[in-house]
Amino acid sequence: MSLAILRLLDTDQSGLRFSIDTGTNPFYELTIGREVRRDDGYSADTVDEVEFRTPMAVNDQAGFQIDTRRDVTVPADGFSSGRMYAQLFSYASRDGRSPAFSRVVTVPVLHALPWERPTTMSTTFRPARQVACRTLSVEFAVASPPAPAPSSMVNSRAVLSFVPGLAMAWNGRSAALFARDRDIRLQVSLNVGRSGPGTPLPKAILTIRITDPTDSSVLLDRAFRLRQLQPGVVIDADLTQAELAQLPTGHLLSVSGELRWPGSAGQTYRTTATTELVLVGRYFVKEQGSAVPGSQELTDMTRFRPYWNKIWESPVSHDGTYKVYHWALEAAVRYSVLIEPAALANGLMETRMLRTPPAADSTIDRAEGRMKAGIELSLSELNKLASLWPGGNPLAPDRLAAFSTADFARQQSRELVHSVKLKGRTDERGMVWVVPVFSLRNFVVSAVREIDAYGRVLGVDDEQVALPLPDAVRLIGLTSGSSGDVSSADGEATYAFEGFGVEFADLVQLMPAGQNSG
């Protein structure tokens, strides 16, 4: 059966350890907030003022097993100190079918978190993960929308329309904003015109469907059965917080409404309407501003090792069938820099190369062709870099959460295509490293101040914040045999490699997807 049982096992400075049980529901997410409110629809308490929400995850113990429990650890750097409240949600599918939710668990987070201590920056970065190679075109591929199914219903001349809400500034544009952690109410009305019937419709069905406009996937589908529907009267469509749990935060969503009703001759009439909305947390990004003057290069490999990615190294052995005296690299490198909001550590992508076959009797071991590599940048690790700029400070977790959206990751992820050449003797080592270069960018973040009874955001307070983001990378080619401090060709940064000389140190600008050739 579907379950959502949550139990706090332990808490310390590193994080919170929970035991969860989802029964037959394989998908789950944990929510942690600062308040608890009564949900009259379910006669139960739910977490409010949400500060942290885990991504949708899979309980591999779920199913028809004797023990469907597992332990889950939540890092402490995801929320504020003080008394907090946690709640587990479980689902039968990733799109949120058959939801179940646990009772609210009190979490005493009593330690001081890094941003509440006297120091302004954590100098320790988490070790990088090893991840599969992905390009922007693969990561943000958009599926073709499905063809509409044929319908035998008759399109009515009656007009269905959504009651417009207050448009608020969001992500550089205007949109209707609704609170992420509340039940919401959408409203529609039916206008039949002067020639239409003035009597109520005996019965009708209103279907509210919420889809992702990037790929037309259906995220929520809810039907409301209506009786004695009077034309011109506003129809309320209430959606609960549990139903909204599977919808993404900070993402523009398409909402369609379809009203259908039986006619006197046996036919079915219908009329449709569309609108858009965004679910937002306590803070959200209103707009992006300019960059703070001066970029930062992470020249200290020891300190910033999780940002350094060795994408190629010269061969160290051969099969012995022929003499090889030299090695050579000549490749077009596509390097992808992806933002990963949910990751706690950076991820270094494996290198993949489509290699041109070498000549059979060549005395040079040539690596020629196209190469792909990249890095996933953790949002929390990026935040630690803010103190590299004078007066810069890492963002508090609630402000940082405003950037933890798929839309922000898509907008800020970048890539490049650049040709590299390197050669040497077989008794020399050669390697190519890639290190991102960062700028500190200003953003206006809005804090939700006023919400109406329908969950609509009516008032906000603005605040300017700054977050380090990548705008270029340094590609560094090394060969053994010399050492010392070697300045890059543009004179902007100095890299030191004991026992190696810098053959090239190219600074290459990152570009959004689709703006690189090759």
Q: pLDDT value at position 306? A: 94
Output 500 or 81, whichever has higher pLDDT. Answer: 500
pLDDT in tens, 501-513: 889 999 999 998 7
Mean pLDDT (whole number) for 195-201: 72
State residue 121's pLDDT score.
39
Q: What is the pLDDT of residue 208?
A: 97
Query: Are the C-beta atoms of 465 and 445 separated by less than 8 Å?
Result: yes
Return the pLDDT at 118.
Answer: 35
Amino acid 508 reads: V
Q: What is the pTM of this model?
A: 0.70
Whether the CB-CB separation of 366 and 328 falls below 8 Å is answered with yes
Per-residue model confidence (pLDDT) at position 315:
83
CB 333 within 8 A of CB 312: no
Which of 123-132, 151-160, 274-283 holds the top average pLDDT?
A: 274-283
Is the pLDDT assigned to residue 150 strictly greater than 60? no
pLDDT value at 114 more than 60 = no
CA within 13 Å, CB half, 422: 30
pLDDT score of 46: 85
| Matching residue, tokens 């190696």 | 500
Question: Which tokens in the block code for residue 67?
Answer: 């023990």
* pLDDT value for 310: 95
Q: What's the pLDDT at 76?
A: 64
**Which strand (E) or helix (H) includes residue 464?**
strand 457-480
Residue 119 has pLDDT above 50, yes or no: no
Residue 259 confidence (pLDDT) above 50: yes
pLDDT of residue 148: 62
% of the chain exceeding 70 in pLDDT = 84
Would the pLDDT of 317 be above 50? yes
11-15, 238-242, 296-300, range with the lowest pLDDT: 11-15
Across 6-33, average pLDDT:
82
Average of per-residue pLDDT values in the chain:
84
Burial of 70 by CB count in 10 Å (0-12 exposed, 13-18 middle, 19+ buried)? middle
Name residue, tokens 């179940």: 100
> Mean pLDDT across the stretch 414-430?
91
